Chain A
Amino acid sequence: MSTPIVEEKPKNRFIDPKVLIKIQNLELVARTVVEGFVQGLHRSPYMGFSVDFAAYRPYMPGDEIRRIDWNVFSRSDRLYIKLYEGETNTRVLVLLDISGSMNYGSAEPKKIDYARILAACLTYFAHHQRDGVGLLTFDTEVRTHLPSSRRRGHLLTILSEIDRIQPTAQTEFRKPLRFLAEYLTRRGVIVLISDLYDEPDNIIAGLKALKAKGNDIIVFHIMDNFELTFPFEDMAQFEDMETKRKLHVIPEYLRTQYLVILKDHMERIRKELSGARIDYCLMDTSKPLDAGLFTYLAARAKSI
């Protein structure tokens, strides 16, 4: 189904997000995007496989039972899973912001839908690269954490989880990132998909801590076109989708200052992240996903 659509638009290698959002099956969406993307690439030099033992880690819900090291269990009476070097070329963890602000969309797709597709694509792509894939959704707290795995069924679990998420609460980076910094023991690729509606200090401090642990971090800054241009004309009450707070706004008077403040915010984050060697990619929800995938590939290359 997807091929004819791509062929119909030969100049546009990637499918418009507005079209993708109409496809209900997230796996199909991811496959459509990734396969379309991969078809255009040269053969990847990053394919590889290894079976060397790496470490044990505690059993987490969702881990396959057959992976439990029963010898360890018999000795310690605790469930551990044995990890192998060759099990993944690298580990990819997608951090998906599911705060209320992600539910915004001036038109289809909403930011959360765009983020869903992007996350699905990345996990699908990583899975087919034989990378371990994990998912962590968060707002003020960690809402879901599916550790990285290379299992075939794990991808479906992640995609199912991505499909299920509903943004509600506010954004708070400090706690989830602290949790992650404590939890992650092995380095890998961390992909943060968020609109970054938090103080830059909170975001940058948390990411720097993860970076310090040797992770490669990619930040996808998901922004709606209206957030970037603020094209509103008529006076209206603007309601904060996270706090539900209302504010009378005459857009023509506030537009300039809003855009200056937003630019400052983004510029500061970009600069700080750049200084910490963290990749930053601004994603406009009205644009296709290719930039995201390219950015991911570049980051993965560094991590191997």
Chain B
Amino acid sequence: MSFLNPFFLFGSLALAVPVLIHLVRREKSEIIPFSSLMFLLKVPKRSIRQQKMKNLLLMALRLLILALLVGAFARPYMTQPERPTAGGNSNRGTVMMLDTSYSMRYGNNFDRMKSEAQKRIDGLRASDRMAIIAFNDSATLLTQPTTDKSALKGAVDTLEPSFGGTRFYDAFTLADRVLGQFVGEQRQLVVISDFQKNGWNRSSRESVIPIDVKAETVNLAVKEWTNMGIDSVSVDQTSFTRTYSGRLIARIHNYNKEKPTEVPVSVSLNDKEVERKKVIVSANSSALAEFTGFDLPLGFSKGRVRIEAEDPLKIDNDFLFAIERREKLKLLVVDAGKPKQSVYLRDAYTSAPDLPFEVTIVPASGLTADEVAKHELVIINDVARLPDNVREKMDERRKSGQGQLVILAENSDPGWWGGYEKLPVKPTQKIFVNKDRGKPSVSLTTYGNHSIFKPFEKSTRVALNSAQFWAYVNVEPKPGAIVLAKYEDGAPAIVESSKNDGGMIVFNSTVDSKWNDFPFKTSFLPLFHEILRYLSRYNEGRGWYALGDAIPVVGGLETAAAAVIGPTGERQALGNLEVGQSKFFTPSVPGFYEIRVGPDTRRVAVNPPASEGNLDSMPPEDLLASVQQTKGESRQAGFFGAEEKDDYARRQMGWWYLLLFALLAGMAEIYIANRTYKTS
């Protein structure tokens, strides 16, 4: 047993105080001359003895309370039972840690590792026990401590190199836990690894391996190693044009420390090479290979960037990515048919060829319900009213995912729009700021943290409040409607329909220059792009993930079953996903994954961690020095695993019991003292 606050033990000196007082008072107690002890001497001795006994008991109880309190404040904890020294038992208990990270694929490293492991199993005596841990970026206990050599060998035989990175610390932590199972045995630790430098996080300074463990390392690192690999690929996950107009950039890394290397780099889609070029990469450096202008088939394509390098670690020579070519979003702009009424809108959505919108502008007078039905996005740009069948069609299409932006302004009939039940606002009157508010204009202020304002969050150049409005239609938000932006006088400016009837946003000023100067401001285009992006529920995903990343799976328009189909065709069900709900899955092998949510399907590519391509190793002694305790060192509480934390907490529980006993002793003291005083 030891103490967390041993200085409190000095408090036990307080125990001496009552005893000393007793002794001093006994020796130096006041002498009172009294006429005669005749009557005092006649007091029965038994009674005096009883009083003395009660006194002694009370004193003992009080001392006990003091001692218990001192003990509780010193925070005792039970140390782990002392392990018998190695000399006590000649049997050995060994934990063998085998590195299965993907860097072990280098040359024949993995086979060498297996061979070394087999040798150590063969070297075991009949009574020796061994446990095997396989580790990469996580650690797995392959076999519990056993003397069964065939079981141990079988476990080693079945090992395959993984695609994971290297994390030594987790493996050592598990090894420490397993070593704890060897009681009375000579404890040994064997680590067979390439001791990749990247695998040791220098911040993990906790010493987890006890000092009495004899550690042996088998270093499989290759001294003169060479490797070329692709660190990363930058590519848009979605293209709305047949010819990819973005840039695909691959970062090629040459780990050779001495000579530059020229390497051919190719891009293939669906196993068909679309472009190839040669890149010269300096020694111990990286270079970029850029591709563009290749054609994309409609839908998802499995992309691959490959370098044709002759190095012993092949797996990082390929890099996978997923890319989707989508049709442009069909956008219908309905206006009152006035000249230049929708010109700024059209320009905003068609200013660049790679913008994902295909814009059709029609006047309200010629609008049919079929026209509305054909489009994925509809903007009603300041029209007096809509035909009833158009309005009904809009309500129907909104339920199937159509995004609708309604602009109420100069031409809108507040009476008619006020009667539109599904509109999230009720227009009341047209406000002319100069006349009605007594100031020349008002500006916009965002209200809430909505994704349509994402471009303005960090930008200092693009400010929403730079636009000035001198007229707008005053609206009253209906229950459930969400006000996204307001004018500076407090009137709502952008309102979204409720979550239950989503898919519609209302803007209550013109999008030409009649009521404001918004179209001339830099904030106009990003805001209206983001509004449509939001209404179309279009989310740009990532083209690829690294092994170990958590990949999000997001719910669609309605609750639907979600599943992930792995590279080898195995299916992992994720259960039902509510609207907007997210779940995550973590892939275990690289390759293409298909994510299905209801009728929607998307693909993502998963690559091994690029860091494993760097095969620089660290001296095994340095690693051991980092993880093995030195004399006098003890572990710190903050570095325990959950199980050990529980155990540690349990071993510190002593102070609770001491306080409890002190309380009980206090109650006993009160009871006895009361009785003593009553009888006296």
Return chain A residues, CB-CB under 8 Å to B637: none
Which residues between 254 and 304 of chain A lie within 8 Å of chain B, taking CB atoms?
Answer: 254-258, 261-262, 265
Return chain A residues, CB-CB under 8 Å to B30: 234, 236-237
Among A247, A249, A253, A256, the most chain B Cβ lie within 10 Å of the Cβ of: A253
A236 touching B36 by the CB < 8 A rule?
Answer: no
Among B32, B34, B37, the most chain A Cβ lie within 10 Å of the Cβ of: B34
Return chain A residues, CB-CB under 8 Å to B29: 235-237, 248
Among B36, B39, B44, B48, the most chain A Cβ lie within 10 Å of the Cβ of: B36
B25 touching A256 by the CB < 8 A rule?
Answer: no
A238 touching B32 by the CB < 8 A rule?
Answer: yes
Return chain B residues, CB-CB under 8 Å to A195: 35-36
A145 interfacial by beta-carbon distance below 8 Å = no
Known: A197-B36, A242-B36. A236 touches B43 (CB 8 A): no
Known: A247-B41, A262-B39, A265-B39. A239 touches B33 (CB 8 A): yes
Known: A253-B48, A254-B48, A257-B47. A239 touches B39 (CB 8 A): no
B42 interfacial by beta-carbon distance below 8 Å = yes
Return chain A residues, CB-CB under 8 Å to B55: 250
A104 interfacial by beta-carbon distance below 8 Å = yes
Q: How far is the CA of A243 from the CA of B36 in the complex (A)?
A: 8
Q: List 30 A-B contacts (CB under 8 A).
A: A101-B35, A103-B35, A104-B34, A195-B36, A197-B35, A227-B35, A236-B30, A236-B32, A237-B29, A237-B31, A238-B37, A238-B40, A239-B33, A241-B34, A242-B35, A242-B36, A245-B37, A246-B31, A247-B37, A247-B40, A248-B29, A250-B51, A250-B55, A252-B680, A253-B680, A254-B40, A255-B680, A257-B43, A257-B44, A261-B39
Which residues between 35 and 87 of chain B lie within 8 Å of chain A, taking CB atoms?
Answer: 35-44, 47-48, 51, 55
- State the Cβ distance, B387 to closest chain A Cβ, in Å: 106
Q: How far is the CA of A114 from the CA of B462 in the complex (A)?
A: 111
- State the Cβ distance, A239 to closest chain B Cβ, in Å: 5
Q: How far is the CA of A257 from the CA of B680 in the complex (A)?
A: 9
Known: A252-B680, A256-B680, A258-B39. A238 touches B34 (CB 8 A): yes
Return chain B residues, CB-CB under 8 Å to A262: 39
16 new A-B contacts, CB < 8 A, other than A171-B36, A247-B41, A248-B26, are A104-B35, A111-B35, A195-B36, A234-B30, A236-B30, A237-B30, A237-B32, A238-B32, A239-B33, A241-B34, A245-B37, A257-B47, A258-B39, A258-B40, A261-B43, A265-B39
Return chain A residues, CB-CB under 8 Å to B41: 247
Q: How far is the CA of A252 from the CA of B34 in the complex (A)?
A: 16
Return chain B residues, CB-CB under 8 Å to A258: 39-40, 43
Look across to chain A and name the residue whose beta carbon is closest to the beta carbon of B42. Answer: A261
Look across to chain B and name the residue whose beta carbon is closest to the beta carbon of A238. Answer: B34
Q: How far is the CA of A250 from the CA of B38 in the complex (A)?
A: 16
Known: A253-B48, A256-B680, A257-B47. A241 touches B40 (CB 8 A): no
A232 touching B39 by the CB < 8 A rule?
Answer: no
B35 touching A235 by the CB < 8 A rule?
Answer: no
A240 interfacial by beta-carbon distance below 8 Å = yes
Return chain A residues, CB-CB under 8 Å to B26: 248
Return chain B residues, CB-CB under 8 Å to A113: none
Return chain B residues, CB-CB under 8 Å to A232: 32
Q: Which residues of A contact B (CB under 8 A)?
A: 101-104, 111, 171, 195, 197, 224, 227, 232, 234-243, 245-250, 252-258, 261-262, 265
- State the Cβ distance, A225 to closest chain B Cβ, in Å: 12
Look across to chain A and name the residue whose beta carbon is closest to the beta carbon of B47. Answer: A257
A240 touching B36 by the CB < 8 A rule?
Answer: yes
Known: A234-B30, A248-B29. A240 touches B37 (CB 8 A): yes
- State the Cβ distance, B28 to closest chain A Cβ, in Å: 10
Q: How far is the CA of A218 from the CA of B40 in the complex (A)?
A: 27
**Interface SS, B side:** mixed
Return chain B residues, CB-CB under 8 Å to A102: 35
Q: How far is the CA of A239 from the CA of B31 in the complex (A)?
A: 7
A249 touching B36 by the CB < 8 A rule?
Answer: no
A239 touching B35 by the CB < 8 A rule?
Answer: no
Return chain B residues, CB-CB under 8 Å to A242: 35-36
Q: How far is the CA of A237 from the CA of B37 in the complex (A)?
A: 11
- State the Cβ distance, B127 to closest chain A Cβ, in Å: 69
Return chain A residues, CB-CB under 8 Å to B51: 250, 253
Q: How far is the CA of A240 from the CA of B48 in the complex (A)?
A: 19
Q: How far is the CA of A238 from the CA of B39 in the complex (A)?
A: 12
Q: How far is the CA of A262 from the CA of B34 in the complex (A)?
A: 14
Look across to chain A and name the residue whose beta carbon is closest to the beta carbon of B25. Answer: A235
Return chain B residues, CB-CB under 8 Å to A247: 37, 40-41
- State the Cβ distance, A167 to closest chain B Cβ, in Å: 10
Return chain B residues, CB-CB under 8 Å to A243: 37
A239 touching B680 by the CB < 8 A rule?
Answer: no
Return chain B residues, CB-CB under 8 Å to A111: 35
Return chain A residues, CB-CB under 8 Å to B48: 253-254
Return chain A residues, CB-CB under 8 Å to B33: 104, 238-239, 241
Q: How far is the CA of A234 from the CA of B31 in the complex (A)?
A: 11
Q: How far is the CA of A101 from the CA of B35 in the complex (A)?
A: 4
Q: How far is the CA of A197 from the CA of B34 in the complex (A)?
A: 12
Return chain A residues, CB-CB under 8 Å to B47: 253, 257
A224 touching B35 by the CB < 8 A rule?
Answer: yes
Look across to chain B and name the residue whose beta carbon is closest to the beta carbon of A110. Answer: B35
A249 touching B40 by the CB < 8 A rule?
Answer: yes
- State the Cβ distance, A256 to closest chain B Cβ, in Å: 7
Q: How far is the CA of A249 from the CA of B40 in the complex (A)?
A: 9
B32 touching A254 by the CB < 8 A rule?
Answer: no
Complex A-B, nearest 6 residue pairs according to Cβ-Cβ distance, in ascending order? A104-B35, A101-B35, A253-B51, A240-B37, A197-B36, A238-B34
Q: How far is the CA of A243 from the CA of B41 in the complex (A)?
A: 13
Look across to chain A and name the residue whose beta carbon is closest to the beta carbon of B44. Answer: A257
Return chain B residues, CB-CB under 8 Å to A104: 33-35
In-complex Cβ contact of A236 among B31, B38, B677 (8 A): B31
Q: How far is the CA of A77 from the CA of B51 in the complex (A)?
A: 70
- State the Cβ distance, B498 to closest chain A Cβ, in Å: 81
- State the Cβ distance, B619 to closest chain A Cβ, in Å: 75
Return chain A residues, CB-CB under 8 Å to B32: 232, 236-239
In-complex Cβ contact of A197 among B31, B38, B677 (8 A): B38
Return chain A residues, CB-CB under 8 Å to B38: 197, 240
- State the Cβ distance, B59 to closest chain A Cβ, in Å: 13
Return chain A residues, CB-CB under 8 Å to B31: 236-239, 246
Q: How far is the CA of A243 from the CA of B37 in the complex (A)?
A: 9
Return chain B residues, CB-CB under 8 Å to A238: 31-34, 37, 40
- State the Cβ distance, A248 to closest chain B Cβ, in Å: 7
Return chain B residues, CB-CB under 8 Å to A171: 36
- State the Cβ distance, A56 to closest chain B Cβ, in Å: 42
Return chain A residues, CB-CB under 8 Å to B680: 252-253, 255-256
A239 touching B34 by the CB < 8 A rule?
Answer: yes
Q: How far is the CA of A237 from the CA of B28 in the complex (A)?
A: 9
Return chain B residues, CB-CB under 8 Å to A237: 29-32
Return chain B residues, CB-CB under 8 Å to A248: 26, 29
- State the Cβ distance, B51 to closest chain A Cβ, in Å: 4
Q: How far is the CA of A125 from the CA of B51 in the complex (A)?
A: 51
Q: How far is the CA of A247 from the CA of B36 in the complex (A)?
A: 11
Return chain B residues, CB-CB under 8 Å to A255: 680
Q: How far is the CA of A262 from the CA of B33 in the complex (A)?
A: 18
Look across to chain A and name the residue whose beta carbon is closest to the beta carbon of B39. Answer: A261
Q: How far is the CA of A261 from the CA of B39 in the complex (A)?
A: 6
Return chain B residues, CB-CB under 8 Å to A250: 51, 55
Q: How far is the CA of A134 from the CA of B42 in the complex (A)?
A: 36
Q: How far is the CA of A197 from the CA of B37 in the complex (A)?
A: 10
Q: How far is the CA of A138 from the CA of B30 in the complex (A)?
A: 31
Interface residues as binary, B139-179 with A (CB distance below 8 Å gives 1, 0 otherwise): 00000000000000000000000000000000000000000
Return chain B residues, CB-CB under 8 Å to A236: 29-32
Which residues between 530 and 578 of chain B lie within 8 Å of chain A, taking CB atoms?
Answer: none
Look across to chain A and name the residue whose beta carbon is closest to the beta carbon of B32. Answer: A236
Q: How far is the CA of A40 from the CA of B25 in the complex (A)?
A: 53
Return chain B residues, CB-CB under 8 Å to A227: 35
Q: How far is the CA of A278 from the CA of B33 in the complex (A)?
A: 32
Return chain A residues, CB-CB under 8 Å to B677: 252
